Structure 1
C-alpha cells in the first residue's frame, strides 16, 4: 500500500504480527479497564461519598449532589476530547493515551486522600469536584486513543472483533470497581469500611496505574500515524479541520446522536440506573445489589465481543438499529420485572394502598435542603422512602382536615399539618407500614435473584448491541489525519452530557414525579431520537475503510 493510500484509509502500511496485535489489544484493553475503574469507583461508592463530602439533611439532595459531582466529570470530557484529540492527531496515539491514564490514576487516588467535609468543611467537596474535572479531562482523551490505536492495527475483516474488546473493557472497569468494593467489604469490618475503608479502592488506582503504564510503554506508535507522518500528510489544526473537512459536520452529528446518544444512555441505564434502582426505591440489600450487578456485568462482556465480531459480517449499522428498537420496546418491561422480583411487596402495596397527597403549594424541589411548604415536606418524606404518590391539586372545602393537609393511603385519611419534621417522618412511615408497606432491607429469594440477574443481563445485551461495534464504526467514519479529534469530540459530548447526566436527570424526574420508573423516559426519548438519526446517517452494508472519494461531490461537465 502506498503512503498516500495509507494516509487516506485506515489499513496500516504493514501488517502487524499476531504477537503484536495481541499486545496491542491486551495493553489497550487493560488500560481502558483500569481507567474506567477509576471513573466508576466514584459511582459505585456514591452513598458513602455523599455522607463524607456532601452531607445534607435532605437524603435525596445528598444523593443528587453526589450525582452532580459524577456529572461534572462527564461535563469536562468534551474538553478533554478536544485537548487530547489535538495532541493525538499531532503527536501520536501512543503518547497521548499514556498521559491520559496517568492523569486519571493520580486524580482518582487523590479522592481517597481528601479529608471529609466534617474535617475541612466546604473545601472537601470543592477538591472532589476539581479531581472529578481532571478525571473527565483524562477520560475525554482515553477512549479515542485506545479505540483508534487498536483499529489502526486491525485487518479490515477483523476490525469490529478486535476493537470490541475496548467496549467490553468499559464494562470490565465497572465490574472491577464492584469486585474491589466487595473484597474491601469482606476484609474490612463494616463500621471501619464506612469510616475509612472506602478510601482503599481509590488508593488502589495507583497500583493499576503502574500496571497500565508498564503495559503501554511496550507499545509502538500506530502504523497509520507513522505512515501519515512520513508522507507529510498531518493535519494543521485537527480541531478546526474536524469541522471544515468535507462532509465531517454530518458525520459528527451522526456520531453524536445516532451512535453515542444511543449507546451511552442505554449503557448508564443498564448499569448505573439499574444499581441505583435496586439500592434506592427497591431497598435491596446493598451487598446483594453489588453481587447481582457483578454477575450480570461480567456475563454481558461476552456479548460486546460477539457483537463486534458479528458486525464484521453484517456491517456496523444493523446491530445498532436492532439494539435501539429492542430498547424502546423492552426497557420499561425489564425494569418493571426487576422491581417485581426485587421488592414484590412494594408493588403490591402501591396497588392496594395508593398514596394521594392533598395540600396547598404542593410542590417538591429535590435541590432544596428545606421544602417551602408542609405538603412539599411530605413529598420529600415519601421520596426518601421510595414510595410513589399522586398529588390532588383540586381545591378542598375549608374543613379541619383540609387546613391540616391530608394524605390518603388506601382508604385511610391522615392529617399531618403542624407536625415538626421528626414527628411527620415517623408518622408517615407508621401510616404506610400499617397499610402494608415494608421498609425493611430486602433480601429476595434465590429464584428472584436469578431472575434479576437475567433481566439485568438483558439490559447488558441491549447495551452490547448498540456499543460492541462502535469503535470500529467511528474509526471508519473519519479521515485518519483528524480521526482522534473527529471521533472523540462527538463521542465525549454524547457520553459526557447525554449519558453522564443521566443519573442526575433521571433521579430528578423520579424525585419530582414520585414514580420510580419515570426516569426511564429520559432514556427512551434519547434512544428514539438517536434511532432516527442512525437509520438516516449510518452507512449500511459491509464495513468499509474511510475513503475521501466517498465524501466529495462528483464534478459534472457543466460544473467543472
Structure 2
C-alpha cells in the first residue's frame, strides 16, 4: 500500500525554513496552552469569583468541572478543524484556532463576578471554556503535523519534540505570569480584579502568535497533495472507512494518548493541587518549585523525541508507562512526607476515627439538594482540611482523635439555609482546634531547602515519566496515518483521549479524594488508565525504527 497517493512529497524546506517553522509553531503552542492552563492555575480566584455561594470542596470541584468542560469539547474541535486542516490546509486552520483561543481566554477576564450578574457569570465562563476546547482541538494536530511534514524523517521525533515541550511551556508561562501578578498586586487587589490580568494578557500573546505564524508558508506535504489532486473528499468519514484506520485510531486513543495524557496531568496539575491543597504548602513556594522543575523538564521532551528517532517510538512510551505503574504512589507518598511531615506523623500518632450512621460524603450535595448526614458533614470538613480518617458504622455519632473523643457542638451540624455557612465555619474551626491539641498543624507550610530539593527531584522524575510517554508522540501519530486524512485521523483520538481521559482527571481524582478522605486515592484513576493503555500499546504499536505510513500500513 506504499504508493505516491499515500506519500506525497513537497519541496524540501531549507534549514532556515525549519527553524522558523519550529519557532513559530512552538511559540504559538506555548501561547495557546497558556491560554488554556491559566484557568487551572488561577482556580482559587475563579472559584471565589464565579462560584461564591458553595463550600470550599464543591467550589474547587466546580472549577475543575469547568476545566473539564473545555476538554470535553476538544474532540468536536478536532473533528471540525481536522476537516478544515485536511481540506483547506494546515497553516490557515491553526491561525483560526489560535485566534479563537486568545479571544475566548481574554473573555474570561472580562466577565463580571457572580455577585454582580448572578448565574450568568458561571454560564458565560462555561461557554468560553467550550470555545477554548474547540480551539485546542484543532491546535495540537495542526502544529504537530505542520512541523512533522517539514521535518526530514530521520529527525522527525527531535523536531516535533519541541512541540511536545511547548505544551509544558504553556504551563510554565501560566505559572510565571501568576507569580508576577501576585508580586505586583496586594491580596485585596488580586481578589478584587488583579486575577483578571493574566487572562487579558492573552490578547498580547495572540498578536505575537499571529505575527509569527503569518510568516509561515503552507506545509510542503499539503502543497504536494493539492497539486496532485489528492485532497480528501471528506476527511472525517474517511478516517473511519480507510482500511485499517479504525484499529489505528483505537491504538492511538488508548495505547498512546490515554497513557501520555493521564501521566502529564498527574505530573503537573495533580502535583500542583496536592501540594497547595491537602499538604498546605505555601502557594507561591509551590508555584515556584513546580514552575522551575517544569521548565527544566521541557528539555526532556526534545531529548526523548530525538531518542525515538534512533530506537523507535514504542520503547520510550512503554518504559515510561511501566515505570509510572511502579512509581506513581511512592513518588506522591514521598512528596507528601517531604511537604508536610507533621501531618503524616500526626495522622499516625493520633489516628482520626469518625463513627455514625450514613457515614458518607457527597461533594455535590449543595447542587443536588441532598442533605448530608451529620456524619457526612464531619467527613466533608476533614477532607477539606486534608486530614486522613477512618470510618466506622455506629448508632451514635462520634469523632475520636488518638482514641480520645471530641465534643461535637450542635452548632456544627445545622443545615438550614440561614445557618449553614455559620455551621460550616464553626465545624471547621472546632475540628481543627481539637486536632491541633493533638499535634496536628494546620498552618501554611514552608518546607526547608532539603525538603524543597527533594520535592523538586520527585517532580523532575514525574516530568521524565511524562516525557518518555509524550516526547516522540507527535511524530508517532503523524506516521500512523495517511497524509490526506492525517489532520483528522490523529486529532480525533488524541483529543478524545486528552479531552476525556486526561481533561477530566483533576475532577475525577478530586472527587475520589473527597469521597474517600484519602489525598492519594485519586492516583488510582491514573494507574488504571495507564495500565490499560500499556496493554494496548504493547499489543498494537510497532517496535523497531520509525517508519512512515505506507512502509507498514497494517
TM-score after normalising by structure 2: 0.96
Shift of 1:350: 0.8
Aligned 8 A contact 1:282 1:342 in 2: yes
Q: 2:457 aligned with 1:460, yes or no?
A: no
Aligned 8 A contact 1:252 1:487 in 2: yes
Could you tell me which of 479, 493, 507 is aligned with 1:476? 479
Counterpart of 2:7 in structure 1 is: 9
Counterpart of 1:501 in structure 2 is: 504
Aligned-partner Cα distance in 2 for 1:162–1:222: 15
Aligned-partner Cα distance in 1 for 2:81–2:377: 46
Shift of 1:186: 1.1
Could you tell me which of 382, 402, 417 is aligned with 1:410? 402
Counterpart of 2:263 in structure 1 is: 266
Aligned 8 A contact 1:510 1:518 in 2: yes
Could you tell me which of 254, 274, 295 is aligned with 2:251? 254
Counterpart of 1:133 in structure 2 is: 130
- The aligned runs of 1:380-459 (5 Å cut-off) are 380-393=380-393, 395-396=394-395, 402=396, 405-416=397-408, 418-420=410-412, 421=423, 422-459=425-462
- The aligned runs of 1:232-381 (5 Å cut-off) are 232-369=229-366, 371-381=371-381
Counterpart of 2:541 in structure 1 is: 538
SS in 2 for 1:550: coil
Shift of 1:7: 4.1
Shift of 1:530: 0.2
SS in 2 for 1:408: strand
Counterpart of 1:510 in structure 2 is: 513
Shift of 1:5: 5.3
Number of residues of Structure 1 aligned to a counterpart in Structure 2 = 539
Gaps in structure 1 of 5+ consecutive residues = 397-401, 553-560
Aligned 8 A contact 1:255 1:474 in 2: yes
SS in 2 for 1:358: strand
Could you tell me which of 216, 226, 232 is aligned with 1:229? 226
Shift of 1:414: 2.2
Aligned-partner Cα distance in 1 for 2:508–2:363: 11
What's the CA shift string for 1:253-274, capped at 9, x where partnerless?
A: 0000000000000000000000
The change in CA–CA distance for 1:250 and 1:492 in structure 2 (over 3 A counts) is same
Counterpart of 1:551 in structure 2 is: 553
Report the RMSD for the aligned CA atoms in angstroms: 1.2
What's the CA shift string for 1:156-175, capped at 9, x where partnerless?
A: 00000000000000000000
Q: 2:29 aligned with 1:45, yes or no?
A: no
Could you tell me which of 61, 64, 83 is aligned with 1:64? 61
Aligned-partner Cα distance in 1 for 2:137–2:352: 45
Shift of 1:15: 1.4
Aligned 8 A contact 1:374 1:417 in 2: no
Aligned-partner Cα distance in 2 for 1:371–1:473: 50
Aligned-partner Cα distance in 2 for 1:408–1:254: 50
What's the CA shift string for 1:117-136, capped at 9, x where partnerless?
A: 00110000000000000000
Shift of 1:426: 2.4
Shift of 1:58: 1.3
Aligned-partner Cα distance in 2 for 1:486–1:501: 22
Shift of 1:233: 1.1
Q: Which moved more, 1:178-187 or 1:136-145?
A: 178-187
Aligned 8 A contact 1:6 1:227 in 2: no
Aligned 8 A contact 1:107 1:134 in 2: yes
SS in 1 for 2:400: strand
Aligned-partner Cα distance in 2 for 1:233–1:491: 24
Counterpart of 2:195 in structure 1 is: 198
Gaps in structure 2 of 5+ consecutive residues = 413-422
Shift of 1:145: 0.3
Aligned 8 A contact 1:6 1:13 in 2: no
Could you tell me which of 108, 113, 122 is aligned with 2:110? 113
Counterpart of 1:182 in structure 2 is: 179
SS in 1 for 2:543: coil
SS in 2 for 1:236: coil
